[in-house]
């Protein structure tokens, strides 16, 4: 039967919100957020979101009112009871009670703080300024909003039939990639596309496809909402944000140099096990490894993000060996520009 309610509602659609849940962010934000909230909640910080691809003049593509409507909508959100229960009660990386009850209580009243939106030379400059614990959470929501708005506008010129073909083609393409990955059952991979996604529903489709088809090779998703909704593993530990802020807080070159280690020393006071993953490339990987404290090589593993991955992998293996650690007992993760063929190359080179 005609669903009149939906049809009439659609006539009067005011907003199709991109962020509909505060869980719709990368899981590592919660680990870092708790860390910040416990230790550095009031540190004053300023984050800016800028578009590095200058040829794409985002401010000429996305109307400012549309961007503001999405950002403003995200600010209306609070965590739902079932989301907080999940964060508090779920097992992450096999461990319960990762999040302290006090942090969960803090989240209960959490809302995103205000933002500043300016236009400079055809680009948006989106700035979040305030207490670190307040503004840090904006990162992924803001990135996902900008990314999804851009793709929505790109889709706007296509008619229903062209859209149908486009999604059919894209599903086929993704499926071929998944099939290719399936030939390497020892590979382990996670989905972490939230920040540059086409859209939440598309990210959900792709993640679901990977989970359905890849079996144990699919270890989870960085997206906490998808993990919650589908009982996937939530994946991620920490990012460049932590050493970057620590670096900014340094008041001498000497402190700046040790900031990248100080933050990890603090991290291991809060977390352990699988959450002890080093991201060594914030200020360059080679200097990081050379001067790293002895405990760094005891951590569970390392995530190679910006350096050419084969060189980075070899460098890390040599470093572990030099530090008297068996590299085969360490976890190596790659997370930069991973197209399927590169994933297979890295897997074949570094497996075992």
Binding mask 144-163 for a copy of itself (x = CB under 8 A): -----------------x--
Long-range contacts of 199-204 (CB under 8 A, 24+ apart): 199/18, 199/148, 199/151, 199/152, 200/18, 200/20, 200/24, 200/144, 200/148, 200/225, 204/229, 204/230
**How many residues lie near a copy of itself (CB under 8 A)?**
16
Nearer to a copy of itself, 106 or 205 (CB): 205
Q: How many residues are there in the chain?
A: 352
Cα–Cα distance, 192 to 33 (Å, whole number):
18
Instruction: Classify strands 218-221 and 301-304 as parallel, antiparallel or unpaired.
Output: unpaired
Stretch of 126-134, 165-173, 191-199, 222-230 lying at the interface with a copy of itself (CB under 8 A): 165-173
Structure tokens at 83: 């989301």
- Does 165 bind a copy of itself (CB under 8 A)? Our answer is yes
Could you give the string, one character per residue 172-211, with x where binding to a copy of itself holds by CB under 8 A and - elsewhere? x--x--------------------------------xx--
Which residues 212-231 are close enough to bind a copy of itself by CB under 8 A? 212
Out of 76, 169, 231, 348, name the contact with a copy of itself by CB under 8 A. 169
Nearest-10 Cα torsion for 268, 321, 308, 57: 10
Is the Cβ of residue 78 or residue 170 nearer to a copy of itself in the bound state? 170
Among 167, 184, 202, 283, binds a copy of itself (CB under 8 A): 167
Residue 173 or 331: the one with the smaller Cβ distance to a copy of itself is 173
Report the Cα 171 to chain-centroid distance in Å: 23
3-class SS of residue 31: helix
Per CB under 8 A, 171 contacts a copy of itself: yes
C-alpha span between 94 and 130 (Å, rounded): 34
Spatial distance between the Cα atoms of 76 and 22, rounded to a whole number of angstroms: 10
Q: What SS3 state is found at 190? A: strand
CB of 207 to a copy of itself, least distance (A): 12
Residue 3 near a copy of itself by CB under 8 A: yes
Q: Select from 34-42, 149-157, 167-175, 229-237 the region that touches a copy of itself (CB under 8 A).
A: 167-175
Residue 183 C-beta: closest distance to a copy of itself, Å: 17
- Contact residues: a copy of itself, CB under 8 A: 1, 3, 5-6, 161, 164-165, 167-169, 171-172, 175, 208-209, 212
């Amino acid at each position: 039967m005609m669903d009149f309610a939906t049809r009439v509602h659609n006539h009067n659609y005011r907003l199709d919100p991109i962020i509909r849940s505060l869980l719709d962010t990368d899981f590592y934000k919660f680990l870092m957020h708790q860390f910040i909230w416990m230790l550095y909640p009031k540190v004053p910080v300023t984050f800016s979101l800028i578009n590095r691809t200058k040829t794409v003049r985002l401010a000429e593509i996305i109307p400012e009112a549309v961007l503001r409507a999405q950002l403003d909508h995200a600010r209306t959100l609070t965590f739902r009871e079932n989301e907080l229960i999940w964060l508090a009660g779920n097992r992450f990386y096999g461990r319960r009670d990762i999040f302290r009850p006090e942090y969960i209580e803090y989240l209960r009243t959490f809302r995103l703080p205000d933002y500043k939106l300016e236009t400079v030379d055809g680009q948006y400059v989106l700035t979040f300024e305030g207490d670190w614990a307040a503004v840090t959470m904006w990162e992924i929501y803001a990135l996902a909003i900008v990314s999804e708005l851009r793709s929505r506008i790109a889709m706007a010129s296509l008619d229903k039939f062209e859209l149908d073909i486009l999604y059919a083609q894209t599903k086929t393409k993704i499926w071929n990639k998944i099939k290719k990955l399936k030939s390497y059952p020892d590979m382990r991979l996670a989905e972490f596309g939230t920040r540059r996604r086409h859209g939440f529903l598309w990210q959900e489709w792709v993640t679901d496809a990977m989970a359905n088809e890849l079996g144990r090779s699919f270890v989870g998703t960085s997206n906490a909402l998808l993990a919650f909704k589908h009982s996937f593993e939530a994946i991620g530990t920490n990012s460049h944000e932590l050493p970057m802020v620590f670096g900014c807080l340094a008041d001498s070159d000497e402190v700046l140099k040790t900031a990248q280690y100080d933050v990890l020393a603090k991290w291991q006071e809060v977390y352990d096990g699988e959450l002890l993953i080093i991201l060594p490339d914030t200020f360059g990987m080679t200097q990081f490894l050379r001067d790293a404290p002895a405990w760094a090589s005891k951590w569970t593993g390392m995530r190679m993000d910006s350096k050419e991955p084969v060189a980075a992998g070899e460098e890390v293996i040599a470093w572990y060996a030099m530090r008297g650690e068996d590299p085969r007992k360490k976890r190596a993760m790659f997370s930069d520009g991973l197209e399927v063929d590169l994933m297979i190359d890295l897997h074949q080179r570094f497996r075992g």
